[in-house]
Amino acid sequence: MKIAVLNGPNLNLLGVREPERYGRATLADVERRLGEVATELGVDLECSQHNGEGQLIDAVHAMRGRIHGAIVNAGAYSHSSLALRDALVGVSVPFVEVHVTNVYAREPERRHSMLAPAAVGGVVGLGVYGYELALRGLVATLNAPRT
Q: Are 23 and 128 in contact (CB under 8 A)?
A: yes
The conformation of residue 145, written as its DSSP 8-state character, comes to P
Is residue 61 part of the annotated active site? The answer reads no
Cα distance between residue 128 and residue 58, in whole Å: 25
Q: Which residue among 22, 50, 77, 131 is the active-site one? A: 22
99 is catalytic: yes
**Catalytic one of 50, 77, 79, 99:** 99
Name, in order, each residue with C-beta under 8 angstroms of 100's C-beta and a sequence gap of 6 or more. 14, 22, 23, 73, 125, 127, 128, 130
Cβ neighbours of residue 99 closer than 8 Å, sequence gap 6 or more = 73, 78, 122, 123, 124, 125, 130
**Element housing 70 (H / E):** strand 69-73
Residues with active-site annotation: 22, 99
